[in-house]
Amino acid sequence: MKEKEKAIIEAAIKLYATKGFASTSIQEIVSESGISKGAFYLYFKSKDTLLIAILEYYFDYIEKKLEAYEHENLSPREKFALQLTALFNTMLDHKEFIIMQSREQAIPLNEEVKELMIRKYYEAQMYYQNSLRAIYGKKAEPHLWDLALMLEGFFNSYMKLLLFNPEGFKIDELVEYILRRVDSLVTGLEGESPVATEEKVKELINKTKAFFLAGDDKDIKSIIQKMKHEISNLENNEDLNISLEVLESEVERESPRIPVVQGMLSNFKSEQSLDTYREAIAEFYGVKG
């Protein structure tokens, strides 16, 4: 990201946090960031375009905070505890922006914003599930959706308290308390039938896909652009970039060769963050994802 682009985003975050999205003008953003209005439009076509960039910037910032612990020599539980602590602290560091987002109608829910928010919600659920699977193994496997939803409820509820009373809790102690409650949930769910099964959440997943795929090749090209952005944030991404270039060339053809499409899609199976895109393209072409 270029420095001017970053300056615009950070200035806008500061203004949106204090004034709200609707009440902040482009002129105020450019004045705050110290650039000209012409320079603003070199990077962003509109306030809505800037809003998408802000949300992506914020989500990427959070992901990098969590990824910082991925390569440390930690047990799954230790790593998850540190990541949850970092998540709480990161949100508290940006609490004005979080509060702004939570206000009714603070963010215009156009299709692109909806698409982004649903995708990030799904990715958060997968993050919770992968962490829980690593900690509890097969014992938790049938209940991963239920456990992830309950854990999300714990996190969001305590986050609301922290936003308005951060001195009232020690975050590391709170995280350990939450994890002990999850221990109790995992034990208590043994022998229970899951409520949120894979079958029951399939509709949610399909709805998520629907935001990526409306039924024509323009949407496929849009998905590929999103994949490029996702891959750019990954380490050791050279092979993924090559596969994506081949896939992009293939979908540009008047008659894409289905075996080539399927072969390239199979190369993305090792990267879970690309699953939603890969499955949407597979569905469009009627191949196995």
| HSE-CB for 194 with a 13 A CA cutoff | 19
Give the tokens for residue 2.
């270029």
pTM: 0.66
pLDDT along the chain (289 residues), means of 10: 87 83 87 90 88 87 90 93 95 79 54 75 88 94 94 94 86 96 96 85 60 52 84 86 92 86 91 84 78
What are the distances in angstroms from CA 196 to CA 150, 192, 231? Answer: 11, 12, 30
Query: What does the DSSP assignment read for 187-234?
Result: HHTTTPPPSS-HHHHHHHHHHHHHTT-SSSHHHHHHHHHHHHHHHHTS
- The span from the CA of 226 to the CA of 58, in Å, is 16
The class that CATH gives domain 1-64 is: mainly alpha
Give residue 107's pLDDT: 55
Give residue 69's pLDDT: 92
pLDDT in tens, 76-124: 999 999 999 999 999 998 887 777 666 544 455 566 777 777 778 888 8
Residue 213 backbone phi and psi in degrees, to 5: -140, 105
- The span from the CA of 220 to the CA of 257, in Å, is 15
Give residue 159's pLDDT: 92
Give residue 13's pLDDT: 85
Give residue 216's pLDDT: 45
Give residue 179's pLDDT: 97
Give residue 83's pLDDT: 96
End-to-end CA distance of the chain: 32
